[in-house]
Structure 1
Amino acid sequence: MGVPTRLCKRESRGDVRLLWQVQSRVIRPFGRVDLVSRGPVAENPGDLCDWVTRWPHWHDGRPFLLNADGIPASALRDGGFWPLMTPATVALLPLAPPPAQRANLKQKWRNRLNRAQQMDMAVRQQELTPDHWLLSAETRHAKTKGYKGLPPAFCAIYAAANPGEAIVYEALHQDRPVAAALILRHGRMTTWQIGHITEEGRRLNAMNLVLWEAVTDCWRRGHDMLDLGILNAQDAPGLTHFKLGLGADAHCLGGTWVHLPCLAPVARVLPLALCS
């Protein structure tokens, strides 16, 4: 999307211990600001706290934003990071063989899936194309509801850069699409990026069928986790209930933090209650 990025890693005896991606933007009056989002990633969680003390070795002292995941608030505070935003909570669904996955569904979710499977619907999957109706439907829906997320253009670019890794699962009723979900594949993880359902699709519980087909297909392809996105019970209680009904776990992220040399000494003495 035109944002300069660089991939950083720390190795030990030829093995990669830590991996993180840095995005950089010029923001006035600060100049260049670096961002690490949902990182760093480590095989050993203990390496994350060690990273907090060592990251200045590769950084040049510019303003640094960290969207932390898995690093305790106390370690970030002691490292001179100042809390900006409280942690968000995401829904993470561990993938399993279909019998175990079905047993993990909440009862109401399973009942709706059973009804959907008895309807005259078929689910097809295809690689995302720039002109797919799901992208324009997402644009209209975002404008109507007034929310902001990654633009649909991001999904089209991702699909072009990663052939076969952006898949649309689409429910058809009487040859008409009534629901669809875009799943992005990346390593062992997958992400539910976009979903859309029509009024007819709601009556048919079509999204339950779409997500079920996506989940089982991702498992068959060797993935072990599906990120269903942010849980927002206040503004989207229905969607939150839907995600948790699929059997997802609520995973609290680490919030957003900033490191500025001038603020670091004050940050280190903040009460921990203000950092959680």
Structure 2
Amino acid sequence: MTLPFNPFRIDWNDCTFGQWEALLARCKRPTLLQTWQYGVAMAKVEGWKADFGIIHFEGKPVGLVLVQTRKWLPFLTACRIHRGPLWIYDEIPGEMLKLVLGMLRQRYQLRRGQPLMFHPELPDDPATRQRMSATGFRRWSEGYASVWLDLASGPDALHAGLHGKWRNQLRQAERHNLVLETETSAGKRFDWLMEHYLEDKVARSYPGPSPAFLRAMHSASADKSPLVVLRALQGGEPVAGVLLVRHGRAATYQVGWTSERGRAVRAHHFLLWQSVLWLVKHGYTGFDLGGINEKTPGIARFKTRMGGKPFRLVGGYV
């Protein structure tokens, strides 16, 4: 039987950090979990080896996909893709997308000892679910949801786009004479934030990434785009901090902590707005506000009121 012609190919582990970064920078909606730094940190801290795939169409690179693998038994290697593939162009036509999904389905199969957990960077809509089903994938979990803030319009338009209540709370924060500190090295402010983050994570049983993983990712990013700490002080005392992770032309709000005093003066509103200003100043065009869910409606409300666009991905597939 002759297989239909496929103009796509995926070249595996045949690129450098610089080449991967250059392609990621061309993607309109780059994601944290498809970065070289994320793959390196997962390998170092949790033992998941990273395979880097460059997707070509008729010989030209059009996308990328990072696959994590971990051997469980001599004949069984668990594989997973989180928030990929990513595309250089705005949109890949549905039938062409199915060809790439089919290539991934053929490469990763349980009968080959390589079962795949796949969380594609695709919207949750009927057409996407149909394409996933048509290429042999079975849905088993809900998708990631967050808020995407388009930074291209600039500070004035972004400020005007804030929900009225959020904007008023920002004004309250600005009247409290908060002082901003910014750090892009793994220095004392990063250590300070990790200490408070760990305490909060343990107290609330929060399932976020470990400080060891964030430190490894910080180290892997140091030469290109290190993680960014923004800290608010009042009267010389640190009252809140946030951690941003940069990826391509975008960034993700990864960690936040606020003291009781910080909550009283709306320090988190101040820091998130200062994060927007910092990212715009440094040429970033997108900001993922770090996930929302139904279990924490207050956090979801806080993020959606920043004026971004909520989105939900299609879900987890096997």
CA offset at residue 165 of structure 1? 2.2
TM-score, normalising length from structure 1? 0.87
Aligned to 1:166: 227
- Change in 2 beyond 3 A, CA 1:123/1:200: same
Which of 212, 218, 230 lines up with 2:279 in the alignment?
218
Partner of 2:14: none
Superposition pairs for residues 51-70 of structure 1, below 5 Å? 51-56=100-105, 58-59=107-108, 61=112, 62-70=114-122
- Please tell me whether the aligned partners of residues 54 and 64 of structure 2 are also in contact (alpha carbons under 8 angstroms): yes
Alignment map for 1:138-177 (pairs within 5 Å): 138-163=197-222, 164-177=225-238
Runs of 4+ residues over 4 Å off in structure 1: 56-60
Question: Any conservation in 1 of the 2:105–2:136 contact (CA below 8 Å)?
Answer: no
Change (3 A) 1:196 1:77: same
Instruction: Work out whether residues 45 and 70 of structure 1, in 8 Å CA contact, stay in contact via their aligned partners in 2.
Output: no
More helix by share: 2
Give 1:253's aligned residue: 313
Shift of 1:14: 4.5
Separation (CA, whole Å) in 1 of partners of 2:286 and 2:231: 21
Q: Is 1:208 aligned to residue 269 of structure 2?
A: yes
Residues 124-181 of structure 1, C-alpha deviations (whole Å, 9 max, x = no match): 1012526511101111111111121111212111111112520101000011111110
* Structure 1 gap ranges (5+): 259-276
Give the superposition deviation at 1:28. 5.6
The amino acid across from 2:146 in the alignment is V
More strand by share: 1
Q: 1:6: which partner in 2?
A: 51
Match among 113, 119, 124 for residue 176 of structure 2: 119
* Equivalent residue pairs, number: 257
Query: What is the alpha-carbon distance in structure 2 between the residues aligned to residue 77 and residue 141 of structure 1?
Result: 40
What's the secondary structure of 1:240's corresponding residue?
A: helix
The corresponding residue for 1:137 is 196
1:18-68 Cα distance to aligned partner (Å, 9 max, x none): 210010013469720111110111223324333112325654742111111
**What corresponds to 1:102 in structure 2?**
159
Q: Tell me, which stretches of 5 or more residues in structure 2 are unaligned?
A: 1-41
- Secondary structure in 1 matching 2:104: helix
The one-letter code of the counterpart of 1:79 is: T
Q: Which residue does the alignment assign to 1:270?
A: none
More contact order relative to length (CA 8 Å, sep ≥ 6) = 1
Q: 1:31 aligns with which of 67, 76, 97?
A: 76
What do you get for the CA RMSD once the two structures are aligned? 1.9
Residues 177 and 227 of structure 1, relative CA distance in 2, 3 Å threshold: same
